[in-house]
Amino acid sequence: MPILEVESLSVSFKQYKAGFKQVQNQVISNLSITLNAGEILAVVGASGSGKSLLAHAILGILPSNARTSGIIKYAGEILTHARQEALRGKEIALVPQSVNFLDPLMRVGKQVRTSVKSGDAAALQRRVFERYHLRKEVDNMYPFQLSGGMARRALLSTAMVSGAKVIIADEPTPGLDPVVIKEALNNFREFADNGCAVMLITHDIESALKIADKIAVFYAGTTVEIARVENFSGHGEALRHPYTKALWRALPQNDFIPIPGSQPHPSELPTGCLFAPRCSLATSECQVVQPDIRELRDGMVRCIHAN
């Protein structure tokens, strides 16, 4: 059952160029994604591909100069701004990419306790801190007294005790030691197995493959492929999009060959397929219009040549 649906989301920012010329930078284009109850959907893609902006669009915390179009639904109903505000931190929790989201003036134990909606807040907070190896002294510390890794564990704790149905975790693990990473990933899996859902935004495809059900691959502000994790095997024969195949082959345990070229900047997106300038399959048709995302072999792909 879909718990969160994003339909044709586009996000752009007005930018001023030299000579006060205004341009509209398209940072997310026509993006659709569904998150089902019981599922972990990993979102992977290069830096600047729009992953955090998608998270912020779902939570309704995009900067005020962002212009958006498209529909986001939660539990089948449209997420209006008022509903986003009412559900934020309650039914939909964010593990933010930046540790600056912690309140600098509140002791971290208290911050975590205030996000508990039902049950014994003090006991839940201590239990989650223990799980993430945060000692008793940490309860009374202020964010500036924490290391980056400790702050990240406090942010994870906040989402875990919130009682949310959906957790959107934006790069939750960098800087954490492997034991804590494993703990956090297991927590996400348990959370989903209890009928909730997780969107796990990460650069770490290998970790994502261990716990996720599906992987959405982002490129230049849109999804090029959504595939089940089982498709990531061998030489990537079961994958659909040339970019996904190339990402898979670029992993150290595979061919470890980087993909030549780089992702286009939002101010200079190609008119046709966004990946065409780097794609060995590109034909003249690919230069004309951006392909729609379509179903293919129990997955989704945005490429006219994929079969």
- What part of residues 97-116 is at the interface with ligand ATP (CB under 6 A)? 97
156 lies in the site for ligand ATP, by CB under 6 A: no
268 binds ligand ATP (CB under 6 A): no
Secondary structure in 3-state letters for 47-87: CCCCHHHHHHHHHCCCCCCEEEEEEEEECCEECCHHHHHHH
Binding mask 282-301 for ligand ATP (x = CB under 6 A): --------------------
Q: What mask, x for binding ligand ATP by CB under 6 A, covers residues 59 to 88?
A: ----x-------------------------
* Least spacing, CB of residue 170 vs Ni ion, in Å: 6
Instruction: Pick the closest to residue 112 from 97, 128, 130, 135 (CA basis).
Output: 128
Token pair for 245: 């195949």
Instruction: Evaluate the CA torsion angle 83, 85, 88, 89 in order and state its sign.
Output: negative
Backbone angles phi, psi at 111, to 5 degrees: -55, -40
Work out whether 187 is an interface residue with ligand ATP (CB under 6 A).
Answer: no
DSSP 213: S
For Ni ion, the closer of residues 52 and 111 by Cβ is 52
Under the criterion CB under 6 A, does residue 27 sit at the interface with ligand ATP?
A: yes
Which residues are within 8 A (CB) of 230 and not within 5 positions of it... i.e. 6 or more apart? 238
| Residues in contact with 40: Cβ distance below 8 Å, sequence separation at least 6, in sequence order | 188, 189, 192, 197, 198, 199, 200, 211, 212, 213, 214
162 binds, among ligand ATP, Ni ion, none (CB under 5 to 8 A by kind): none
d(CA 230, CA 28): 27
**Binding to ligand ATP by residue 13, rule CB under 6 A?**
yes
For Ni ion, the binding residues (CB under 5 A) are 51-52, 97
From residue 122, alpha-carbon distances to 126, 128, 153, 289 in Å are 6, 10, 17, 56
By beta-carbon proximity to ligand ATP, the closer residue of 51 and 152 is: 51
Which is nearer to ligand ATP, 46 or 229 (by Cβ)? Answer: 46
12: left (phi over 0), alpha (psi -120 to 50) or beta: beta
Using rule CB under 6 A, residue 50 touches ligand ATP: yes
Q: Which one of residues 29, 32, 34, 49 is an interface residue with ligand ATP (CB under 6 A)?
A: 49
Among 2, 38, 48, 277, the residue binding ligand ATP under the rule CB under 6 A is 48
Contact partner at residue 13 from Ni ion, ligand ATP, none, CB < 5 to 8 Å by partner kind: ligand ATP
Nearest distance, CB of residue 242 and ligand ATP, angstroms: 20
- Does residue 184 belong to the site contacting ligand ATP (CB under 6 A)? no
Which does residue 27 touch among ligand ATP, Ni ion, none (CB within 5 to 8 A, set by kind)? ligand ATP
Question: Within 10 A of 177 (CB to CB), how many other CB atoms are there?
Answer: 11
- Rounded to whole angstroms, the Cα distance separating 214 from 276 reads 25
Residues that bind ligand ATP (CB under 6 A): 13, 25, 27, 45, 47-53, 63, 97, 266
